[in-house]
Amino acid sequence: MKNIVILKLPMSFVDELLGCLDNEIDDWEKTKNYLEGNMDPDTHYVRECNDENEAEQLKNYYRGIKEQIKKQINEQL
Please say whether the beta carbons of 61 and 29 come within 8 A.
no
Q: Are 52 and 35 in contact (CB under 8 A)?
A: yes
Torsion of CA 47, 50, 55, 56, to 10 degrees: 170
Does 1 map to a domain? no
Pick left, alpha or beta for residue 10 (phi over 0 → left; psi -120 to 50 → alpha; otherwise beta): beta
Within a domain: residue 67?
A: yes
Whether residue 32 is contained in a domain is answered as: yes
Is residue 34 situated within a structural domain? Answer: yes
Residue 3 lies in a domain: no
Structural domain of 44: 11-76
Q: Convert the pLDDT of each residue in 12-56 to its tens digit.
A: 999 999 999 999 999 999 999 989 988 877 777 789 999 999 999
Number of domains into which the chain is organized: 1
More confident: 3 or 16: 16
Backbone angles phi, psi at 75, to 5 degrees: -70, -25
Q: What is the pTM of this model?
A: 0.85
